[in-house]
Structure 1
Amino acid sequence: MGKYLNMIDAAPAADKWPMVRELMMRERQPFFAEMQSERPVLQLPDDMVFITRYVDCTLVLNRWNDFGVDLYKPKQGDYFMAQDDTADHWRDKSIMKSILDFEDLPAMRKFVGERAASLLREGQGAIDAPQSLTRAVPVSLVQEFFGFQGSNPKKLIDWSYWNQQDAFHNQPFDRDVTPDPDHIVAERKRANIHLAFYIGRVLLKRVLQVKFGGDRQDSVSRLVRLSFSKGVKFPLKKVLFNAGGLLIGAVETTSHAVNNALAELLSRPDVLERAKAAAASPDPKDFDGFVFEALRFNPAFPYFFRTCHTPTTLGGGTPHAVEVKPGTTVIACTHAAMFDEAGYTDPPAFDSRRGLYQTFTLGYGHHECLGRAVASVMVPEIVRQVLLLPDIRQEGPIVYQGGVPEHYALRWAA
């Protein structure tokens, strides 16, 4: 048995999952390789299972009736992303995808590039990326394209932050790294009260504009017109709820992904030079693969969690097969899955040709990120603007707080 499994097996029960999480972050590739070959289904205390193979991760994330998002419901209530195969999920996600028009992507990318470049010019050679760039740019996009014009950026960031903290970093299995879970819940509830009042005021304005012939094309206005049409079951309460979801999903996740991609590229001198050359190409899409591949190595979400509903065999076809029972929390380590030879050719190699769809960066299956199309242009464009700076460098590693990038000092020749 390998050294990692020896360490895990010898650890006290309460230390096993924290140890696995630390190994996943600090010694990722050798740890993943050992797990996939020797124990692809690792049973942990407190009815937890940790899986690393590509085939098992895709099985769990594809079979939503067998593995559900139960743990999101206490955090997100009736929001469709906290549901699996329900009428609300079916309808609401379809509506939200339809109002995020693909046709808007070139304009969004242009806007993001200009906004990022402006903020970087203001930095005059130095910037703390999370504080002054990677949250500020998606907030600006939310204001411009989603219908939040005239809002306070700091409040939008605050509302997104606490919702993301509670949903993704304040689960029962996070208790060893979350010093005050109740505080996070209280902050999320406070944020949502303020967010609901704010969106209520936005809706009042949009309702009047729509009724009196306004032709605004932001996301909230589209939702109001759809609600008024009575063509589908989508009352104004749904508009309010889902408009809030647009904000919550756009800011903190974008910031996390941008910082992680930058840190990975800036730590690879040979790749960095090729990425810089691609960033200067007339077609920015030549560059995007560098960002998506960087996120394969350094994802914002190294795992997704699901609750087992149906007895299911994982690790099938190996001597380590395990039947997972209902109620078990399954940690699908998609970070490991992206280095499984069963799913990837030469996984240790940095290959910018792989593209976004060969990763789990924006989720997978039924609960793939709603904003996939927007993120696919916004994240690489922010990174691209940074790499266009002369002599760009990092002044130390990302400082994470609460599981997300809070400080990351960048310098360049002004």
Structure 2
Amino acid sequence: MSYLARLDAVPETEKWPLLRGWLYSEPLPLFEELRRDRPVVQLPELDFCTRHADCTLILRRHNSFSVALYEPKQGDYFMAQDDTARHWREKSIMRSILDFEDIPAMRAFVGEEVARRLEDANGRIDFAHEIGRGVPVALVQHFFGFRNADPEKLAEWSYWNQQDAFHNQAFDAPGPVSSEEIIANRKKAGFALAFYLGRLVLRRTIAAKVGLEGDDPMSRLIRLSFSDALKFNLKQVLFNTGGLLIGAVETTSHATVNALEFLLTDPERRRAAEAAASNPAAFDPFVFEALRFRPAFPYFFRTATRDTVLAADTPHSATVRAGRTVLAVTHSAMFDPAAFPDPMRFDPSRDLSDAFTFGQGIHECLGRAIAAAMVPEIVRQLLLTPGLEAESAPDYGGTKVPQHWPLRFDAAGGSA
């Protein structure tokens, strides 16, 4: 039986759990059928959209599809708002203080940090924890002003904020930690992070007042808050500095695990990637094409604020009603032949301008330029490591994100 035949045969209460299971267990054949025969699947819980054109529309029409579901999780943070003055002002500020000129130095730091951790590991390492999370935490410490923080605490604070915002919505499957526990852990992590940042910002503020100014993003934000040139006070400094941490760690860990595992599991892909690894410019497209096959996020969720027709001018058009939760299934969209010719072919030379690895629209990833250097550099360093093998598949521990992934390699080797 086809996916849709099986879906239609079960009671309404069973449809979304069944579809959600296929989304993770056998996505590509599922998506192919849905794009062809029912590109907008309307269920009691949500609308599930799989065509590239519709996913693009959902993410780009922020006045019709809101990020309102983030607000209970992220409060006043600008990324939980749509077309507001605060969103535009603070995103502009954050883009300005994350200097593109720093990205080559960031990439060099990432490469050196991965190499150091591999050397210290002596032939075996938990990639997800020690590198996937550990390296972006080290980057945040070194470049963003968190130098004196406990790296394990930084990773923990990032983890629970990400878990609640992205993986603890009403439509998510129950996991090993209850929804209530996730919320409690996020609140606890948020309090601890705010306490740490409050003390740190106070010290940096005093330093700035006496002329001992730093040049990291936190110090730049503090000086900007003094200027009275725009509406940006120390509370906004706290929120946005915390956002730098929360946005950097978990998504990097998930993306690097997915890309590296995808490249390792096919000998031909691996050989081609290893051959390109001596040249970052030649290598990076391998990682981003791998993330088309194995994205960290298979969908983005939004709330419809007005009735909108999707799959318009096709036999499968459907109206999404205001108030509905909508999943733009961007994993499917990146295999839509209308946007990606011959989509099942792994092709690092492919133009990925229409991909969704960093999102699209006004909620596109704030740190995409940093991630576009950090993620492939982490994977590149591993593929330059002699004797690299996975001891098992990544361990998700019943969650949607990799918790552990043991790798082994030649202890006498190292990264180049």
TM-score, normalised to structure 1, is: 0.97
**Which of 291, 296, 305 is the equivalent residue of 1:295?**
291
The reply to whether residue 409 of structure 1 matches residue 406 of structure 2 is yes
Aligned to 2:414: none
CA contact (8 A) 2:114 2:131 kept: yes
**Which of 128, 138, 141 is the equivalent residue of 1:140?**
138
Aligned to 1:320: 316
CA contact (8 A) 2:17 2:173 kept: no
The residue type equivalent to 1:26 in the other structure is: S
Aligned to 2:367: 371
Farther-moved stretch of structure 1 (119-128 vs 55-64): 119-128
Q: Which runs of 5+ in 1 are unaligned?
A: none
Aligned to 2:269: 271
The reply to whether residue 23 of structure 1 matches residue 22 of structure 2 is yes
* Equivalences for residues 67-216 of structure 1 within 5 A: 67-177=65-175, 179-216=177-214
C-alpha deviation, 1:175, in angstroms: 4.3
Note the alpha carbon deviations across 1:252-299, whole angstroms, 9 max, x for none.
111111101111111121011111111123xx1211001001100000
C-alpha deviation, 1:361, in angstroms: 0.9
Instruction: Tell me the distance in 1 between the aligned counterparts of 2:325 and 2:195.
Output: 35
* Equivalences for residues 32-51 of structure 1 within 5 A: 32-46=31-45, 48-51=46-49
C-alpha deviation, 1:14, in angstroms: 2.6
Q: 1:334 to 1:350 in 2, by over 3 A?
A: same
Instruction: Tell me the distance in 2 between the aligned counterparts of 1:104 and 1:79.
Output: 25
Aligned to 1:311: 307
SS at match of 2:21: helix
CA contact (8 A) 1:134 1:258 kept: yes
SS at match of 1:330: strand
C-alpha deviation, 1:26, in angstroms: 2.1
C-alpha deviation, 1:214, in angstroms: 2.5
Instruction: Tell me the distance in 2 between the aligned counterparts of 1:350 and 1:216.
Output: 45
- Measured on the aligned residues, the alpha-carbon RMSD in Å equals 1.2
SS at match of 2:312: coil
Instruction: Tell me the distance in 2 between the aligned counterparts of 1:319 and 1:43.
Output: 15
Residue identity over aligned pairs, in percent, reads 57
Q: Which runs of 5+ in 2 are unaligned?
A: 412-416
Farther-moved stretch of structure 1 (355-364 vs 67-76): 355-364
CA contact (8 A) 2:222 2:234 kept: yes
TM-score, normalised to structure 2, is: 0.96
Q: 1:357 to 1:206 in 2, by over 3 A?
A: farther
Instruction: Tell me the distance in 2 between the aligned counterparts of 1:168 and 1:109.
Output: 27
C-alpha deviation, 1:25, in angstroms: 2.0
The residue type equivalent to 1:406 in the other structure is: Q
